[in-house]
Amino acid sequence: MDGESSFPARPKSTPESSRAVAEALGGRSGRSIGLCVASALVLAVSPLVGANLDGPAGEFVLWQLRVPRVLVGAMVGGTLGLSGAVFQTIFSNGLATPSTVGTTAGATLGALVALTIGGGAVLTSLPVLPLAAFAGALVVSLFVAAFAASGRARVNDIVLAGIAASLATTAISTGIQYTADQGALFAAIQWSLGHLPQVGYRGVALLAPFVVICIGVLLTLTRALQTITGGEDLARAQGVDVARVRTLALGVGALGVGACVAWCGPIAFVGLIVPHGVRLAVGVSRRVLLPLSLVGGAAFLVACDTVARIALPGRELPVGVVTAALGAPALIALLARRRR
How high is the pLDDT of residue 14? Answer: 59
Q: Is residue 299 part of a domain?
A: yes
Q: Is residue 9 part of a domain?
A: no
Q: Is residue 93 part of a domain?
A: yes
Q: Is residue 22 part of a domain?
A: no
Q: What is the mean pLDDT of the chain?
A: 84
How high is the pLDDT of residue 3? Answer: 46
Q: 124 falls in which pLDDT band (50, 70, 90)?
A: very low
Domain count, the chain: 1
How high is the pLDDT of residue 297? Answer: 96
> Could you give the CA distance from residue 94 to residue 278 in angstroms, rounded to a whole number?
13
**Is a pLDDT exceeding 70 seen at residue 123?**
no
**CATH number for position 107:** 1.10.3470.10
Q: Is residue 195 part of a domain?
A: yes
Q: 262 falls in which pLDDT band (50, 70, 90)?
A: confident
Q: Is residue 279 part of a domain?
A: yes
Q: Is residue 18 part of a domain?
A: no
Each residue of 127-174: pLDDT tens digit? 677 888 888 888 888 888 788 777 667 778 888 888 899 999 989 988
How high is the pLDDT of residue 68? Answer: 95
What domain range is 321 assigned to? 71-339
How high is the pLDDT of residue 126? Answer: 52
Question: Whole-model pTM?
Answer: 0.86
Each residue of 38-76: pLDDT tens digit? 999 999 999 999 887 888 888 999 999 999 999 999 999
Q: 4 falls in which pLDDT band (50, 70, 90)?
A: very low
Q: Is residue 35 part of a domain?
A: no
Q: What is the mean pLDDT of residues 249-259?
A: 88
> Could you give the CA distance from residue 276 to residue 314 in angstroms, rounded to a whole number?
34
